[in-house]
Amino acid sequence: MNIFLNSDNDIQIVDGGLPLVTGLDEIRQMASCRLQAFEGDWFLNLDLGMPYFQEILKKVTTASQIEAIFLQEIGSIPGILDIDEFNLEFIDATRTLNVTFRATTTAGILNFNLLEAA
């Protein structure tokens, strides 16, 4: 079980306590946190996070390399059993990368869109 984070990814205090998130919502929250974290940002674990500056945003990185990085990270999230669908879409107008996937988890089917989680 994890502490519930609100839409701003801040700890949510309810009635003086810290509510927990479980099941499919917990897996969705873990995926959101992992895919939005930049490697090297957290001083207690510099390896935590996605290698956006180190690998993904480099000029010489190919789409297949970026896909492999995301698939490896998603596959390592506790509760995810299988990645059923995966899509990367670079949106030129806004210079954003949209990551969507559908995964079979221990709590059911997870449909995830990184842009909606951000």
- Report the CATH number at residue 108: 3.10.450.40
The answer to whether residues 114 and 35 touch, using CB atoms and an 8 Å cutoff, is: yes
pTM as predicted:
0.88
pLDDT at 117: 60
Q: What is the DSSP letter of 31?
A: H
Q: What is the DSSP letter of 12?
A: P
pLDDT at 61: 86
The residue range of the domain holding 42 is: 2-117
The answer to whether residues 79 and 72 touch, using CB atoms and an 8 Å cutoff, is: no
- What is the distance between the alpha carbons of residues 77 and 29, in angstroms, rounded to a whole number? 10
23-36 helix and 63-75 helix, angle to the nearest 10 degrees: 140
Helix (H) / strand (E) containing 34? helix 23-36
The answer to whether residues 12 and 4 touch, using CB atoms and an 8 Å cutoff, is: yes
Q: Count structural domains, the chain.
A: 1
Listed in sequence order, the residues at least 6 apart from 105 whose beta carbon sits closer than 8 Å to its beta carbon are: 24, 27, 79, 80, 81
pLDDT tens, position by position, for the chain (118 residues)? 799 998 788 898 889 999 999 999 999 999 999 999 999 999 999 999 999 999 998 888 888 999 999 999 999 999 999 999 999 998 888 888 899 999 999 999 999 998 866 5
- What is the distance between the alpha carbons of residues 23 and 37, in angstroms, rounded to a whole number? 22
